Amino acid sequence: MSSHTIDELIADNGVRGRYVLVRSDLNVPLDGATVTDDGRVRASLPVIGKLAEAGAKVIVMAHLGRPKGQVDAKYSIAPAANRLDELADFDVAVAEDVVGDSARQLAANLEEGSVLVLENVRFDARETSKDDAQREEFAKELAALTGQNGAYVNDAFGAVHRKHASVYDIASLLPSYQGDLVATEVKVLKTLTEAPKRPYVVVLGGSKVSDKLAVIDNLLGKADQLLIGGGMAFTFLKAQGFAIGSSLLEEDQIATCQEYLQRAEKLGCDIIVPSDVVVASKFGADAEHEVLAADKIEEASFGSNGLGLDIGPKSAELFASYITSANTVFWNGPMGVFEIPAFAEGTRTVAQALADSEAFSVVGGGDSAAAVRALGFSEDDFGHISTGGGASLEYLEGKTLPGVAALEG
């Protein structure tokens, strides 16, 4: 089954004067009200722009952070929407609510070729509700903003793994189309699952350990090497019997890691965990830190309570050499706390190896993408930088993505 594209939407009857509700991914990192990485805004721009150019009245729905179903100024969509406005050559208005008076009034007065961004859809608890009826009610209110002849476009790859009202339920209420960003992302991920050129190396890191462990299960039989850095490395080290001080640990996943290590051996897939790590006295830029062997984390000069915040230089070089010999690489999750320069080297070494390699490379994950940009790499150095961390992982786990499936058939 396949979905309709926005080119079809534009070609079919034209969209001039027609309302198009677009679900975009504007979930950018903020420092106060400053967007610290606008990658997702820029990735959302082409589809919004194409529709505006074709004369549609574009209403953008997006979320930012996890405001827990209530209005919370800290999670206002405004900084992301303002960034969109700066980048765009069309008008962008921002509603003060999601489906309230402000949204309805601005929508009703929207001009052809103009864009309205609704306030954070997660300010309404029905967006993420587990109750189908509540989500559907919210989806109906969103759809109602489009009047009689609206259409829906999902271009929010970062949210397609969520069964949420603006991602999933709304697709059954309006003629629905797949945005170009979602189409590109799905196409790239398909090449990673269907016929990756070998050697196929998967690099995993970051801090959401249990989220990411699940993907290993499905990749064990597919990848040639799994390189494990970031926070999850420490649960693996613990599973191998090492003492890890106060490093990130998911106690209840130790047995899972042990099982993965055993299964990997049987399947001929290598799981490579760091042999050395950068251990810090505390979490912070002013921490003391030293490089220690992975089995000596508790022997730091400042005491046994240290935290591993990066992979060590030997591990980074080893990871880089695997990447250099690979023909396909998928990377999700920074190797360390790259936001602090002292713990950014592992991530930098891996990113450099990937940038230099001829392999087909995909970088997934919001922070991973932010890391390569923050460390000064050009996006062109990588085959594809995915806007969706969780979504790309779930796809690689072999799961159906509700937001993609809802557009099909």
- Of the residues 23, 40, 122, 238, only one is catalytic, namely 40
Select from 35-43, 154-162, 194-202, 367-375 the region that touches Mg ion (CB under 5 A): 367-375
Side-chain half-sphere exposure of 312, counting CA atoms within 13 A: 21
- CB-wise, 116 or 337, nearer to ligand ADP? 337
**Quick check: 312 binds Mg ion (CB under 5 A)?**
no
Distances (CA, A) of 379 to 2, 107, 392, 396: 29, 35, 18, 22
The most distant pair of C-alpha atoms in the chain lies apart, rounded to whole Å, by 71
**Quick check: 67 binds ligand ADP (CB under 6 A)?**
no
Tell me, what amino acid is at 221? G
Q: Please, what is the Cα angle at 156 between 155 and 162, to 5 degrees?
A: 130
Among 366, 383, 388, 403, contact with Mg ion (rule: CB under 5 A): 366
- CB-wise, 151 or 233, nearer to ligand ADP? 233
Q: By rule CB under 6 A, what count of residues binds ligand ADP?
A: 20
φ/ψ of residue 109, rounded to 5: -100, 10
**Quick check: 364 binds Mg ion (CB under 5 A)?**
no
**Quick check: 336 binds ligand ADP (CB under 6 A)?**
yes
Strands (E), 166-224: 176-178, 200-204
CB of 238 to ligand ADP, least distance (A): 13
Select from 4-12, 45-53, 286-294, 364-372 the region that touches Mg ion (CB under 5 A): 364-372
Q: Count CB neighbours of 100 within 10 A.
A: 15
**Quick check: 389 binds ligand ADP (CB under 6 A)?**
yes
**Quick check: 312 binds ligand ADP (CB under 6 A)?**
no
**Helix (H) and strand (E) counts in the chain:** 14, 17
For residue 5, the 8-state DSSP code is B
Question: Is residue 229 among the annotated active site residues?
Answer: no
Mutual orientation of helices 313-325 and 345-356 as an angle, nearest 10°?
20
Mutual orientation of helices 78-87 and 39-53 as an angle, nearest 10°?
60
**Quick check: 103 binds ligand ADP (CB under 6 A)?**
no
**Residue list 238-257, contact with ligand ADP (CB under 6 A):** 248
- CB-wise, 315 or 368, nearer to ligand ADP? 368
- CB-wise, 205 or 306, nearer to Mg ion? 205
Question: Is residue 208 among the annotated active site residues?
Answer: yes
Residue whose token pair is 């290993």: 216
Q: Count CB neighbours of 190 within 10 A.
A: 11
Select from 1-9, 40-48, 298-306, 335-343 the region that touches ligand ADP (CB under 6 A): 335-343
Rounded Cα gap, residues 370 and 212, in angstroms: 18
By a kind-dependent CB cut-off of 5 to 8 A, residue 334 interacts, out of ligand ADP, Mg ion, none, with ligand ADP
Residues that bind Mg ion (CB under 5 A): 366-367
User: Which positions lie near ligand ADP, rule CB under 6 A?
Assistant: 205-208, 230-231, 248, 308-309, 332-334, 336-337, 339, 365-368, 389
Residues assigned a catalytic role: 40, 208, 366, 390
